[in-house]
Amino acid sequence: MRVRAAFLLRGTFVEQRFEQLLAAARTGADWAWAELYRELAPSVLGYLRARGTAEPEDLLGEVFVQLVRDLARFEGDERAFRAWVFTVAHHRMLDAARRARRRPRIQPGDGVPERAHALGDSEEEALTALREQQLARMIGRLSPDQQTVVLLRIVGDLTVEQVAEVIGKRPGAVKALQRRGLATLALEMSKEGVTL
């Protein structure tokens, strides 16, 4: 079995290496923060995008700024760290939603040019975009609480107890939300002929 980037084994930090990585990050070592970012940013960004945040990349940056600022207060192992990261991301997402409700939004096309994309495989890009739209549409049919629970459990890879702590609900409520959310997704997938 290969160890990715010397720190990871099957998507989780090797415990001893995680402790070393965390200690180095606390001292401000750039390599340690780069490794933490490479490991966690894709999942956090996926969670923020799936929740429909307006500027997920900006919000991801805010999450990591807060992690740098508050790391000295963190205590725990790799699983607790991952839960803490997603707790910060969830709270930042809620803060951003509150800010967005208080100020007017600029409508797309108001003089802001579209981002230029590199040329690539158009067919593959189109199919990927369609799959993402289909998945976003199905997740969008869940209640906000179900969306949060399902995404934190699957994308965030958090336990029921960790999700309960992130969203401030009891583990039993999280289990019920997950069960109903996954049942709804399974029904939507069968209606649309989507298979895993």
The confidence score (pLDDT) of residue 108 equals 54
What is the chain's pLDDT, residue by residue, as a tens digit (196 residues)? 233 343 443 344 456 789 999 999 999 999 999 999 999 999 999 999 988 888 999 999 999 999 999 999 999 999 999 999 999 999 999 999 888 888 766 555 544 445 545 556 677 777 776 777 777 788 888 999 999 999 999 889 999 999 999 999 999 999 999 999 999 988 888 887 766 5
| Domain 1-103, CATH among 3.30.70.270, 1.10.3720.10, 1.10.1070.20, 1.10.1740.10 | 1.10.1740.10
One fold for 1-103 and 124-196: no
Task: Name the one residue in this structure whose structure tokens are 């999700």.
Answer: 163
pLDDT score recorded for residue 196? 55
Which architecture does CATH list for 124-196? Orthogonal Bundle (1.10)
Does pTM surpass 0.75?
no
Q: Where are the domains of the chain?
A: 1-103, 124-196
